[in-house]
């Protein structure tokens, strides 16, 4: 059962990554589509991290008790000020493990 | 993988040697490879906690190679949810890769099959972030391979650490290793916010993702992401963001400064300003 899950998940993930790289797929990207796609990374990544930060145990948590939220704000400020990915992740994660 | 694969030397003249480009990609990816370590530890230890064998736990990272999908699937196994539901959820989570592949299509699809298969397998959020630099930068497959492969190795070593730790340490899940996901993605998203329309896109996606999560809507990720993208495009159209740029090159840097300060203002008011 676990192996079946692993291989079928792997197939789904690989197909989703590879399918549109295939030149035989007769797909042309219009200017509009390309513009739309330029927003994909910020939109998708935000949709993944936002619930981790704002939702604790199934409910919205905007309190100062929410160490995820505090450290996420710190990470955002660090990213803006330093523009350094490594510094941002390491410092905000360090702070998180101290206060969590 | 295929680091020694022969390739027409005159096709990619942007870098003097393949090894140099490979190394450059590895170095560009390094911050993200380091940042993924806690997340990989989480994936390995959680798999053990759910009851997978060490081999199965490692195989998830080695064969599937998709952090978010792996963690969600493990949560569903733990909850006793059936295979079909797990696969449909995987499809939802991984569907963003369709968008990445489409964005990278013009650069990767002319390459030989081996390259397409390899880069396709390695196409993660992180690789997309470092390799998809737009039309200004020439795409180098060796650069992408260096980034993708080093990230794959880092992810699997971290998973192994998690498997070992998961066997040895109790309650590893309470450490909050999932914050690593948030920290990484924030560090990836913030630099992409270069104009107001992207800020709009991020805020819409963020709000909807949070609302969907609070109401336990399974397709929240897709709903939020597509709504965010649509909002960004519409905002750019209504404000004629791109036309301004073409008419006046100076407006471009002005717009960037605007986005920068807006984002900063947002960060400081984040707790109240969001929902």
User: Predicted confidence band at B95 (pLDDT cuts at 50, 70, 90)?
Assistant: confident
To the nearest whole Å, the CA of A13 is away from the closest chain B CA by 6
- B22-31, B112-121, B135-144: which range is least confident on average? B135-144
Residue of B49, B179, B213, B271 to mutate when probing chain A, most A C-beta within 10 A: B179
Report the pLDDT averaged over residues B148-170. 92
To the nearest whole Å, the CA of B119 is away from the closest chain A CA by 8
Pick the most confident of B52-56, B96-100, B190-194: B52-56
| Cβ contact A78:A91 at 8 Å | yes
- A35-44, B100-109, B118-127: which range is least confident on average? A35-44
Whether B251 shows a pLDDT value over 60: the answer reads no
Query: DSSP string spanning chain B?
Result: --TT----TTT-TTSS-HHHHHHHHHHHHHHHHHHHHHHHHHHHHHHHHHT--HHHHHHIIIII--HHHHHHHHHHHHTT--HHHHHHHHHHHHTHHHHHHHHHHHHHTTS-HHHHHHHHHH--HHHHHHH---TTSPP-HHHHHHHHHHHHHHHHHHHHHHHHHHHH-S-GGGG-TTHHHHHHHHHHHGGG--SHHHHHHHHHHHHHHHHHHHTT-TTHHHHHHHHHHHHHHHHHHHHTHHHHHHH-HHHHHHHHHHHHHHHHHHHHTHHHH--
Enumerate the residues of chain B whose CB falls inside 8 A of the CB of residue A69: 270-271
Pick the most confident of A44-53, B113-122, B123-132, B214-223: B113-122
Whether B99 shows a pLDDT value over 70: the answer reads yes
Closest chain B CA to residue A57: B214
Distance CA B59, CA B142 (A): 26
Q: Helices A2-18 and B113-122: crossing angle, nearest 10°?
A: 120
DSSP state of A63: S
> Are the Cβ atoms of A100 and B213 closer than 8 angstroms?
no
CA of residue B73 relative to chain centroid, distance: 18
Q: Supply the mean pLDDT for chain A.
A: 89
Distance CA B200, CA B259 (A): 10
CA distances from B103 to A33, B93, B160, B223 (A): 9, 18, 32, 20
Enumerate the residues of chain A whose CB falls inside 8 A of the CB of residue B263: 76, 80
Of B31, B103, B179, the CB nearest to A96: B179
For B129, residues 6+ apart whose C-beta sits below 8 A from its C-beta are A41, B32, B188
Strand partners, A60: A55
Report the pLDDT averaged over residues A1-10. 96
- List, for residues B166-197, the tens digit of each pLDDT value: 888 766 666 777 788 888 889 889 988 999 99
To the nearest whole Å, the CA of A67 is away from the closest chain B CA by 9
CB environment B4-25: b (16+ within 10 A), e (fewer) = eeeeeeeebeebeebeebbbbb
To the nearest whole Å, the CA of B261 is away from the closest chain A CA by 9
| Cβ contact B264:B244 at 8 Å | no
- Percentage of chain B modeled with pLDDT above 90: 41
Q: How is chain A split into domains, by residue range?
A: 30-99
Element (H, E) at A76: helix A67-82
Give backbone dihedrals phi and psi of B163, rounded to 5 degrees, phi first: -65, -45
Of A17, A67, A75, the CB nearest to B121: A17
Q: What is the dihedral of CA B182, B185, B189, B191, to 10 degrees?
A: 100
Q: What is the pLDDT of residue B244?
A: 63
- Contact B186/A at CB under 8 A: yes
- List, for residues B186-244, the tens digit of each pLDDT value: 988 998 899 999 999 999 999 999 999 999 886 787 789 889 999 999 999 999 887 76
Pick the most confident of A39-53, B2-16, B95-109, B193-207: B193-207
**Rg of chain B in Å (alpha carbons):** 20
Q: What is the pLDDT of residue A82?
A: 92
Q: How many CB pairs under 8 A join A and B?
A: 293
> Are the Cβ atoms of A93 and B221 closer than 8 angstroms?
no
| Cβ contact B147:B123 at 8 Å | no
> Are the Cβ atoms of B103 and A40 closer than 8 angstroms?
yes
Q: What is the pLDDT of residue B132?
A: 80
To the nearest whole Å, the CA of A71 is away from the closest chain B CA by 8
Dig out the tokens for B32 from the structure: 């993200």
Distance CA B26, CA B29 (A): 5
Dig out the tokens for A35 from the structure: 């513009």
Instruction: Specify the residue for token string 């390739």.
Output: B7
**Rg of chain A in Å (alpha carbons):** 19
User: Predicted confidence band at A77 (pLDDT cuts at 50, 70, 90)?
Assistant: very high
Enumerate the residues of chain A whose CB falls inside 8 A of the CB of residue B101: 16-21
């Amino acid at each position: 059962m676990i192996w079946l899950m692993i291989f079928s998940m792997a197939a789904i993930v690989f197909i989703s990554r590879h399918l549109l790289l295939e030149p035989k797929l007769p797909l042309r990207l219009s200017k509009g589509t390309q513009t739309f796609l330029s927003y994909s990374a910020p939109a998708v990544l935000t949709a993944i991290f936002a619930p981790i930060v704002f939702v604790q145990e199934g409910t919205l948590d905007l309190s100062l008790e929410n160490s995820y939220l505090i450290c996420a704000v710190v990470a955002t400020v660090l990213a803006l000020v330093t523009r350094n990915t490594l510094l941002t992740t390491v410092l905000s994660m360090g702070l998180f493990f101290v206060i969590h | 993988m295929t680091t020694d694969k022969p390739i027409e030397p005159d096709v990619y003249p942007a870098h003097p040697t393949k090894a140099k480009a490979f190394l450059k990609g590895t170095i560009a990816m390094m911050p993200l490879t380091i940042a993924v370590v806690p997340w990989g530890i989480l994936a390995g230890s959680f798999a053990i906690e759910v009851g997978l064998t060490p081999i199965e736990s490692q195989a998830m990272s080695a064969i599937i190679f998709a952090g978010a999908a792996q963690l969600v699937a493990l949560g569903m196994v733990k909850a006793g949810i059936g295979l079909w539901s797990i696969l449909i959820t995987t499809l939802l989570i991984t569907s963003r890769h369709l968008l990445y592949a489409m964005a990278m299509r013009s650069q990767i699809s002319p390459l030989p099959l081996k390259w397409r298969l390899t880069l396709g397998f390695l196409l993660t959020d992180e690789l997309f972030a470092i390799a998809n630099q737009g039309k200004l930068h020439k795409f180098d497959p060796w650069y992408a391979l260096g980034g993708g492969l080093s990230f794959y190795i880092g992810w699997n070593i971290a998973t192994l650490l998690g498997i070992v730790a998961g066997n040895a340490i109790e309650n590893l899940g309470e450490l909050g290793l999932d914050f690593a996901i948030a920290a990484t993605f924030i560090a990836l998203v913030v630099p992409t916010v270069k104009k107001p329309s992207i800020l709009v896109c991020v805020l819409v996606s963020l709000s909807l993702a949070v609302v969907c999560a609070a109401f336990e809507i399974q397709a929240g990720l897709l709903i939020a992401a597509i709504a965010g993208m649509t909002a960004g495009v519409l905002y750019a159209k209504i404000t004629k963001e791109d036309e301004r740029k073409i008419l006046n090159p100076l407006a471009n840097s002005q717009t960037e400064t605007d986005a920068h300060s807006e984002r900063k203002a947002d960060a400081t008011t984040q707790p109240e300003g969001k929902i």
